[in-house]
Structure 1
Amino acid sequence: MSETLEITRPQPAVVALQLNRPRQLNAINEVMRDELVRTLAEIAADTSVDAVILTGAGRGFCSGLDVRAFGPGIPPASAPAVDRMRFQESMAALPQAIRALPQPVIAAVNGPCVGAGLALCLAADIRICSATATFGNAAILLGLSGAEMGMSYHLPRIVGTSVAADWMLTGRTVSAEEADRRGLVSEVVSPDGLTERAHEIAATIAGLSTLGVQLTKRALQANTDAPALEAAMELENRNQVLSHATDDAADRRQKWS
């Protein structure tokens, strides 16, 4: 049983992972952080899962770190730097764990997506949102660096350097319309249709070749930083050779012939 997460299997090969602290707009406390780390590791090792949906309960996706009631594990500003670094690394491990999942992750952003919540969203492979969703970096508003939890890596690659700088340096709230226009999300849907649309995308992915999907995810990640087209194509060529020889690929070719 999980205290802060709701984990369901809405359809075969799909896991829906819902942050479940709705009264706090799903702010991350110590328990949620630890449960997320454990749950993501379990999903990564589960070969029966081909797609993951990440969303929030209630009217928010995730409002970031629960600064009011995180728990005893958060060090004060007076703590030694090494202790504060370990804490920051434990938070940064969350988007790293999402990105490291072999299965594609669909972030279904149903409301405010702020700070650490934005970092989780950015680590997903596909991002869709409700028309009522909003996004914000927020750390800069607390006197901290706006670059945290992978945001200075992911955000410029998704929306471009100038737009990322605007959002991270001002901490302003970004609407669903602007998020869509800037390419942060691939789709904006009605609040009532968000869950259904996320399930449709997950079902489509889960119905494809597991190896083909996972090789595609890894190639997208690796080739975002490829030094040249030739290096990217080398990886692509090897992936095609690997996937071509599988029974799954043979069966699918037979259906098309």
Structure 2
Amino acid sequence: MTYEHLTLERRDGIAVLTINRPERRNAYSLKTVDEFHAACDELDGDLTKRVLILTGAGPAFCAGIDLKEGTNNWPEDLGMVQGRYRLQRRLASMVLRLRDIPQPVIAAIHGPAVGGGLALAAASDIRIADTTARFNAAFIKLGLSGGDDGASWFLPRLVGPSAAADILYTGRFVDAAEAKTLGLVSRVVEEGRHLEEADEVARQVMSNSPFGIRMTKELLNYTLDAPGLRQAIEMENRTQTLCLLTEDFAEGVAAFAERRPADYRDR
């Protein structure tokens, strides 16, 4: 598929999805959202791509919704409330789609990640920032609530409820160094090295069994919502039983015994 607002590159087992609207600081419109879903559909059907790197073109990661496109532009002939609710659900669906694809997602962040851009970064599995990265919950500065696109769900789990409240109530910017201290990002690298570092991490992930990685993402998705330890362990038990029955598990054990790299074939 040809995209106008995105690029989707494939190399080895890695896919790189770039929001490609640098003139709008990678703010997204309804067309961007539609293309984002189409790209995720492609990845959902291509298990040879084992890791997704999400980034933005130009000087920003993502500036959230494109306010120049308006907030009352849902194409169906509906009332104002009904149309805006449909629009809100569609915009927020990007975060859910990102969690549903089988590939772990590494956000390679440079420049501002604000509003919906903050949410997309938070929804990723791993966040790598260069020193130019800045984060804020822009919604609160626009007369809206601080929570949008899952930000009020992800942030307390990433940085704790107190730091999340600080970010969501004030709308202040969090720079890369503070983001690392809070746990919002796992790594901070020199300016311009975010994609290089993301690629390195992706290759570390790909050294493990494909099915094991996919099951780990399912496990993390489940345990973030699990009501308690017992339920989380039951999900782990299910996952490990499935993995134990694969040919790749036997290969992993043999490679460990023979002190060689495993040759995983997703079997």
**TM-score category (smaller protein):** over 0.9
Q: CA deviation at 1:229?
A: 1.6
Q: How has the CA–CA distance of structure 1 residues 138 and 71 changed in structure 2, closer, same or farther, with 3 Å as cutoff?
A: closer
- Give the % identical residues: 42
Q: Does 1:171 align with 2:155?
A: no
Could you say what secondary structure the match of 1:113 adopts? strand
Aligned to 2:43: 43
Contact map agreement 2:71 2:84 (CA 8 A) in 1: no
* Aligned alpha-carbon RMSD (Å): 1.6
1:96 alignment counterpart:
96
State the partner residue of 1:213.
Answer: 213
More relative contact order in 1 or in 2 (CA 8 Å, sep 6+)? 1
Task: Give the alignment of 1:25-64 within 5 angstroms.
Answer: 25-64=25-64
The structural deviation recorded for 1:224 is: 2.0
- After superposition, residues 82-121 of structure 1 pair within 5 angstroms as 82-121=82-121
Supply the distance in 1 between the matched residues of 2:110 and 2:95 (Cα, whole angstroms).
Answer: 18
Q: Which residue type is aligned with residue 182 of structure 2?
A: R
For residue 192 of structure 2, give the secondary structure of its aligned residue in structure 1. helix
Equivalent pair of 1:30/1:71 in contact (CA under 8 Å): no
Change (3 A) 1:80 1:192: closer
Query: Which structure 2 residue ranges, 5 or more long, are not aligned?
Result: 258-267
Give matches, 1:141-160, under 5 Å.
Answer: 141-160=141-160
Whether contact under 8 Å (1:137, 1:168) holds in the other structure is yes
Q: Distance in 2 between matches of 1:156 and 1:41?
A: 29
Deviations 1:28-87 (A, max 9, x none): 122211111111121112121110000011110001111013598358xx9521111000
Contact 2:95 / 2:119 at 8 angstroms: preserved in 1? yes
Aligned to 2:67: 67
Whole-Å Cα distance in 1 between the matches of residues 146 and 41 of structure 2? 28
Structure 1 partner of 2:140 = 140
Task: Tell me the equivalent position of 2:260.
Answer: none
Asked if structure 1 preserves the Cα contact closer than 8 Å seen for 2:72 and 2:83, the reply is: no
Q: Distance in 1 between matches of 2:7 and 2:224?
A: 32
- After TM superposition, give the deviation of residue 226 of structure 1 in Å: 2.0
Deviation string 1:208-231 (CA, Å, 9 cap, x unpaired) is 211100111111121122222221
Aligned mates of 1:71, 1:223 — CA distance in 2: 34
The aligned residue for residue 244 of structure 1 is 244
**Match of residue 5 from structure 1:** 6
Moved more, 63-72 or 225-234: 63-72
Using the size of structure 1 for normalisation, the TM-score is 0.94
State the partner residue of 2:194.
194
Alpha-carbon deviations, 1:115-152, whole Å to 9, x = none?
Answer: 01111111110011011100010101100111111111
2: CA distance between counterparts of 1:7 and 1:213? 22
Secondary structure of the equivalent of 1:203?
helix
Q: Deviations over 1:152-199 (max 9, x none)?
A: 111111111111111111111111111110000000001232111100
- After TM superposition, the score normalised by the length of structure 2 is 0.91
Is the 8 Å Cα contact of residues 29 and 71 (structure 1) preserved in structure 2? no
Q: What is the count of residue pairs matched by the alignment?
A: 254
| 1:24 aligned residue | 24
Instruction: Measure, in 2, the Cα distance between the counterparts of 1:130 and 1:71.
Output: 31
Does the CA contact (< 8 Å) of 2:74 and 2:86 recur in 1? Answer: no
- Residue 180 of structure 1 pairs with residue 180 of structure 2: yes
Secondary structure of 1:237 counterpart: helix
Residues 53 and 105 of structure 1 are in contact (CA less than 8 Å); yes or no, is this contact kept in structure 2? Answer: yes
Moved more, 226-235 or 129-138: 226-235
8 Å CA contact 1:128, 1:186 repeated in 2: yes
Give the 3-state SS of the residue equivalent to 1:191 in structure 2.
Answer: coil
Q: What does 1:216-235 correspond to in 2, within 5 Å?
A: 216-235=216-235
